Amino acid sequence: MFFPRLFKASKWLVVVFLLWILFLAYQIATFPVGQLTDKADVAIVLGAAVYDDKPSPVFRERINHAVNLYKAGNIQTIIFTGGLGDGETHAESIVAKNLAVTLGVPETDILTEIESQTTRGNLLQAQKLVITKGLTSTLVVSDPLHSKRAMMMAEDIGLVAVKASATPTTRYQSVKTKAPFLLREVYFYLHYLVFNG
């Protein structure tokens, strides 16, 4: 009798776990991603891959969004984050800064950090700059499906007056591109919930 009961209980545990995973995926997919009219002192742009001295298409859209926020007068400063990733020859934040300058953002309104290699690291390093510069409100720029986890981390580390500001031109538009990104985010979100890191 013991083993059949154990098997039945295990089946229910698997069902509950799968339902929880689906719930997490729903939370990630439907997370509010901010309004294009949101204003703050600074936009923190989370890092992404670069290819030599060029941003990846995903990173380029995050940079473009921050530049658009700046040109619209919604922010006064941009913080680009990201150091050297695996196989990269240029720090992500420096590549982003160089592009933003060519798009018309003055260097004086751009801050960078070159230490971080993860989302949490991006936010922790950006927070140091926010504190040093006395900034009082922040927008976190990333892709829509990345925003839930990024905002949870931002709030956990105590980032001031923070809101999500996901790029409306994300490269993850089709089901084919969204599905792998969503699965990846569910994994990392679950990992963060369990291990807080």
> 60 near 99, Cβ under 8 Å?
yes
> 46 near 122, Cβ under 8 Å?
yes
> 116 near 84, Cβ under 8 Å?
no
**What are the structural domains, with CATH classification, of the chain?**
42-195 (3.40.50.620)
Percent of residues, the chain, with pLDDT higher than 90: 75
Question: In the numeric block, which tokens belong to residue 16?
Answer: 């509950």
**Residue 105: C-alpha distances to residues 19, 83, 122 (Å):** 46, 21, 21
- Per-residue pLDDT, 22: 93
Residue 10 has pLDDT above 90, yes or no: no
Question: In the numeric block, which tokens belong to residue 187?
Answer: 């994994």
Distance from C-alpha of 104 to C-alpha of 163, rounded to nearest angstrom:
25
Spell out the long-range contacts of 173-178 with Cβ–Cβ below 8 A and sequence spacing 24 or more.
178/145
| pTM of this structure | 0.90
> 141 near 42, Cβ under 8 Å?
no
Per residue in 164-195, pLDDT (tens digit) is: 999 999 988 888 889 999 999 999 998 998 88
Residue 9 has pLDDT above 80, yes or no: no
- Per-residue pLDDT, 15: 81
- Per-residue pLDDT, 1: 53
Say whether 51 sits in a helix, a strand or coil.
strand
Per residue in 48-77, pLDDT (tens digit) is: 999 999 999 999 999 999 999 999 999 999
**Phi, psi of 147, rounded to the nearest 5 degrees:** -70, -40
Three-class SS of 62-101: HHHHHHHHHHCCCCCEEEECCCCCCCCCCCHHHHHHHHHH
> 83 near 116, Cβ under 8 Å?
yes
**Phi, psi of 52, rounded to the nearest 5 degrees:** 60, -115
- Per-residue pLDDT, 172: 86
